[in-house]
């Protein structure tokens, strides 16, 4: 796998690449040699994609990346501000060659004027080896948005229709209709018992969307729980449970008929509607009372909670007593320890659970009990956010994760654990969360990624 950092491009053993070749003007053998693959001009560059957005004041940008072919000595990127007449295979005369601000052997960076925020930019890539040039790639495009906060963003959610909500440090809440064409806004109003709380500054660490009652629930420091029907107007929901106001609530999931919230000191809270006073504290396995529970998800009536020091807490059937037995007579609640790394996020895609964490940790399971460890090949990287989706691009379904040093990785399927190169984000900052958007208004499908320093990125697949 490859991890792209600013000005630094390490080659890892799993990539199968034995040397670095510059993307714009590199050298090397033009015929591929007698003992290796030969350049094929009929094959366009593969997996071309765009990551759009910015982290701070150094500019709005699109990062165009592709899978590197070791038989290729150069790549050329072409762009236009209008869609080509044949997007399935670019007609290069309709584009101009891009002079990138920065480049690597499988990516280039295109800085976009601030005036063009929210506008489409279209790209095609060709591979070059000696005097041979490949056919162009399919057309891809990016729609960059500008950062509007310096606070770190911890989580992001899509309501499935028309609103993205991102939350983070110091009570920041951002909204956008799509995160691409339309700007992000920070006009959220937080009220306590109907009175606007202009001084609210608790960190917000997790957010979910309730597709039954059509509402958001966000959680965070100081036992904070906030509810909203539109992502803009929020109400503080006090649990009225002793001690909760002194802990950090780390994550929240909507479980078809209830909210489940997890946090410090093994805290688990449950509520059917998220409203004030309508919360109960769940008794959990005693060995977890000193564990920070970092993430929770629900699939097939099974609850999976992950935490610090490699802890995984699985409830086989959430409708039964968590400290009882399931229909087979086996303990309903199962505690496992896999390694000693923090397990920072967990997801479910309909067939498998996925967990990501510190030090290159990736786990998958069909039932939350039997876990497979993967080696994605990103040593010293901590993954903080994971999502799975059923788009059929490139497989159905697949899993994507984000983490430290701007790392963004996609697995080709649910269980292989990111055995493909990571994708260039041109960020050095930590990325904390990722969600998948299917925007029927514009006919687009894409990732939205948030992170430290107010980072907001989109990725068109």
pLDDT band at 34 (very low <50, low <70, confident <90, very high): low
The pair of structure tokens assigned to 44 is 């366009």
pLDDT at 411: 77
Average pLDDT over residues 307-324: 96
pLDDT of residue 308: 98
CA gap 252, 345 in Å, rounded: 11
Whether pLDDT at 286 is above 90: yes
pLDDT confidence of 355, banded at 50, 70, 90? very high
Measured over the CA atoms of residue 333, residue 335, residue 338 and residue 340, the dihedral's sign is positive
Domain boundaries, the chain: 13-142, 153-460
Is the pLDDT confidence value at 244 over 80? yes
As a CATH number, domain 153-460 is 2.130.10.10
Average pLDDT, stretch 239-259? 96
φ and ψ of 255, to 5 deg: -115, 45
Determine the Cα–Cα distance for residues 413 and 394; give it in Å rounded to an integer.
8
pLDDT at residue 23 is higher than 60 = no
| pLDDT mean across residues, the chain | 87
Give the least confident one: 51-60, 121-130, 436-445. 51-60
Rounded CA gap, 237 and 217, in Å? 10
pTM for the full predicted model: 0.89
pLDDT tens by residue, 333-343: 999 999 999 99
Q: What is the mean pLDDT of residues 59-87?
A: 93
Q: Is the pLDDT of residue 3 over 50?
A: no
How many of the other CB atoms lie within 10 Å of CB of 422? 26
Whether 423 shows a pLDDT value over 50: the answer reads: yes
Instruction: Please check the confidence at residue 21 and state whether its pLDDT lies above 50.
Output: no
- CATH 2.60.40.10: does it fit domain 13-142? yes
Residues of the chain above pLDDT 70, percent:
87
Residue 387 has pLDDT above 60, yes or no: yes
Query: How many other CB atoms are found less than 10 A from the CB of residue 291?
Result: 24
């Amino acid at each position: 796998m490859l991890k792209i950092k600013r000005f630094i491009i390490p080659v890892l053993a799993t990539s199968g690449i034995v040397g670095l070749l510059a993307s714009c003007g590199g050298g090397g053998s033009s015929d591929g040699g007698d003992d290796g693959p030969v350049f094929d001009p009929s094959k366009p560059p593969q997996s071309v994609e765009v990551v759009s957005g910015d982290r701070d004041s150094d500019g709005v940008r699109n990062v165009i990346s592709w899978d590197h072919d070791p038989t290729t000595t150069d790549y050329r990127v072409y762009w236009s501000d209008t869609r080509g007449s044949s997007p399935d295979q670019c007609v290069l005369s309709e584009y101009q060659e891009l002079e990138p601000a920065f480049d690597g052997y499988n990516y280039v960076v295109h800085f976009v004027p601030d005036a063009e925020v929210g506008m489409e930019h279209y790209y095609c890539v060709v591979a070059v080896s000696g005097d041979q040039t490949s056919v162009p790639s399919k057309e891809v495009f990016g729609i960059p948005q500008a950062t509007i906060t310096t606070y770190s963003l911890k989580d992001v959610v899509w309501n499935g229709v028309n609103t993205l909500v991102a939350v983070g440090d110091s009570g920041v809440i951002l909204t956008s209709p799509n995160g691409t064409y339309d700007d992000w806004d920070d006009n959220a109003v937080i009220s306590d018992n109907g009175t606007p709380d202009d001084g609210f500054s608790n960190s917000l660490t997790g957010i979910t969307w309730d597709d039954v009652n059509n509402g958001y629930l966000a959680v965070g420091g100081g036992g904070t729980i906030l509810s909203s029907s539109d992502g803009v107007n929020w109400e503080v929901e006090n649990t009225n449970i002793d001690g909760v106001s002194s802990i950090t609530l780390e994550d929240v999931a909507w479980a078809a008929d209830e909210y489940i919230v997890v946090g410090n000191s093994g805290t688990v809270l449950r509520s059917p509607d998220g409203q004030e006073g309508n919360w109960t504290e769940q008794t959990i396995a005693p060995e977890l009372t000193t564990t920070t529970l970092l993430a929770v998800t629900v699939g097939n009536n099974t609850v999976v909670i992950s935490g610090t020091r490699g802890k995984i807490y699985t409830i086989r059937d959430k409708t039964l007593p968590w400290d009882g037995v399931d229909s087979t007579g086996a303990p309903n609640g199962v505690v496992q320890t896999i390694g000693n790394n923090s397990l920072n996020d967990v997801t479910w895609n309909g067939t498998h659970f996925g967990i990501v964490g510190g030090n290159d940790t990736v786990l998958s399971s069909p039932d939350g009990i039997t876990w497979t460890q993967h080696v994605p090949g990103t040593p010293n990287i901590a993954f903080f956010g994971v999502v799975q989706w059923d788009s059929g691009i490139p497989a159905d379904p697949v899993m994507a994760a984000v983490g430290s040093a701007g790392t963004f990785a996609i697995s080709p399927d649910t269980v292989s654990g990111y055995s493909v190169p990571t994708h260039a984000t041109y960020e050095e900052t930590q990325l904390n969360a990722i969600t998948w958007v299917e925007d029927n208004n514009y006919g687009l499908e894409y990732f939205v990624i948030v992170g430290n320093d107010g980072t907001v990125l989109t990725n068109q697949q």
